Each structure stands twice: as structure tokens, then as C-alpha cells.
Amino acid sequence: MKNKIKVYRAMHDLTQEGLATELGVTRQTVLAIEKGKYDPSLELAFRIARYFGVNIEEIFTYE
């Protein structure tokens, strides 16, 4: 699954560590999701979208 987390982090001036703290996960989890090595749970995907104030489809795209 492709995602735009890195883009949204940059728009909000957030580090991986900062986003991880806000979401209650590790920096390694954010890194793995960004690189496409790990697909987040549906709950985590919605938390990410909610944090950035966008629809989940704006961040995640299924190929």
C-alpha cells in the first residue's frame, strides 16, 4: 500500500519521532509504514488520517 505520510509530515513540520509520539507508536513503526514495509492496522491508518485532518484515502492508496 502506498502512502503520503512523509509528505503530510513535511507539511506539518513533523519528524518521524514527533508523529510517532502523537500516535502512540515507535519511530520505527512510522518509518516502516512510510517505506511500505509495513501496512498499518485499519485503526492506526484512521488515527493517522484523523491526526492530519484528512480522509484516509488522501494518505493511503491501494495498488
| CA–CA gap between residue 63 and residue 60 (Å, rounded) | 10
Structural domain span for residue 29: 2-55
Q: What is the pLDDT of residue 63?
A: 75
Domain membership of residue 31 (yes or no) is yes
CA 48 from chain centre, in angstroms, equals 5
Domain membership of residue 6 (yes or no) is yes
Indicate the SS3 state at residue 2: strand
The model's pTM is 0.91
Nearest by Cα to 51 from 63, 14, 33, 27 = 14
Q: What is the pLDDT of residues 11-53, one digit of tens each?
A: 999 999 999 999 999 999 999 999 999 999 999 999 999 999 9
Domain membership of residue 63 (yes or no) is no
Indicate the SS3 state at residue 21: helix
Scan for cell 509528505, then name that residue. 7
Q: Total structural domains in the chain?
A: 1
Domain membership of residue 61 (yes or no) is no
Q: What is the pLDDT of residue 62?
A: 83
